[in-house]
Amino acid sequence: MSYIGTAPTIGNFQVCDAISVVNGQASYTMQVSSVNVVPQSANHMLVSLNGILQKPNSSFTVSGSTITFASNLVTGDVIDFIQILGDVLDLGVPSDNTVSLAKLTATGTKSSSTFLRGDNTFAEAGGGGKINQVLQTETTTPQDIASSTFTDLTNISLAITPSATSSKIFVIVNIHADTQVNDKGFGLQLVRGTTNIHTDNGQKAFYSASSRLQSKYLHHELDSPNTTSATTYKVQIKTDGGNTVRFNDQSLSSITLMEVLA
């Protein structure tokens, strides 16, 4: 590559610690500040023996941190210096199929439908706003609640495992209640784990249907759980004045969870 002016100096140049020759020995350990060092190859070294530069891979070879001369050194020989030229930052072109996703330490699911994001997580192709998964549970199993404090609606609970901490969960709850007595209502609370994410204390109006009073309540919430662990969403109910209200009897109730990729 051509440069205007002086070419930049690159590499991690190191001079090895002095090595004392052992009579009849060819192999020696290379260290810098008493720590073993491993050159990239013999071609990345300058080695002087008895005042003469040695030819890489001919006069000496390298394996790990060990340099081996072509013949045994004897008393009186002097290893003048060993200079390691270091990583010259030229990675070259990797051969086909030599870099695999298994070598990456990113979180998330590696597959043909995901991509690696800037935060080192794998996400579904298509980017932010895409629905990654949809879960739903519904019930027509009746449940009577008579409580002035919030109580679990036992059949309306659902767990989801987000694929990334940045994902949002779009929650939709559809609650059906009915009673045979006028002026009863209920408040609703949406809970993630043990965290309340929505509270509506207002009394829900009932309407007449075949001598029964019925109410349909629909609510949606966009939540940010900030986790990749299984997370449970549930509905809690409290009734007006602690009076009894029956749920899921004349029509089904449901909760729907959608993971929205950020």
The C-alpha atoms of residue 151 and residue 172 are separated, in whole angstroms, by 19
**CB-based contacts of 19, cutoff 8 Å, min separation 6:** 28, 30, 79, 82
CATH number at 140 reads: 2.60.120.1340
Q: Can you say how many angstroms the Cα of residue 52 is from the centroid of all Cα atoms in its chain?
A: 54
247 and 135 belong to one structural domain: yes
169 and 60 belong to one structural domain: no
135 and 66 belong to one structural domain: no
Domain holding 19, by residue range, is: 14-84
Q: Is residue 59 part of a domain?
A: yes
How many CB atoms within 10 Å of residue 143? 19
CA atoms within 13 A on the CB side of 89: 6
253 and 135 belong to one structural domain: yes
Last-in-domain residue among 22, 55, 84: 84
Calculated CA dihedral for residues 84, 85, 88, 91, nearest 10 degrees: -40
Last-in-domain residue among 23, 53, 84: 84
61 and 136 belong to one structural domain: no
pLDDT in tens, the chain (262 residues): 555 665 554 567 889 999 999 999 999 999 999 999 999 899 999 999 999 999 999 999 999 999 999 999 999 999 999 999 866 555 555 666 666 655 566 777 777 667 777 777 776 665 567 888 999 999 989 999 888 899 999 889 999 999 999 999 999 999 888 765 555 678 889 999 999 999 887 555 444 444 455 677 888 999 999 999 999 999 998 887 888 888 887 788 999 999 998 7
The C-alpha atoms of residue 160 and residue 132 are separated, in whole angstroms, by 11
Calculated CA dihedral for residues 179, 185, 191, 194, nearest 10 degrees: -90
Q: What pLDDT is attached to residue 114?
A: 73
138 and 211 belong to one structural domain: yes
Q: Which residue has the tokens 């060993």?
A: 82
Q: What pLDDT is attached to residue 104?
A: 60
76 and 165 belong to one structural domain: no
Q: What pLDDT is attached to residue 206?
A: 46
43 and 145 belong to one structural domain: no
149 and 256 belong to one structural domain: yes
56 and 149 belong to one structural domain: no
Q: What pLDDT is attached to residue 116?
A: 75
Q: What pLDDT is attached to residue 86?
A: 66
136 and 79 belong to one structural domain: no
The C-alpha atoms of residue 64 and residue 82 are separated, in whole angstroms, by 15
State residue 241 phi and psi, 5-degree precision: 70, 10
Considering only the C-alpha atoms of the chain, give the largest distance between any 2 of them, rounded to a whole number of Å: 114
Q: Which residue has the tokens 């002095």?
A: 18
Number of domains in the chain: 2
Q: Is residue 105 part of a domain?
A: no
**CB-based contacts of 212, cutoff 8 Å, min separation 6:** 178, 179, 180, 250
Q: Is residue 42 part of a domain?
A: yes
79 and 154 belong to one structural domain: no
Q: What pLDDT is attached to residue 221?
A: 93
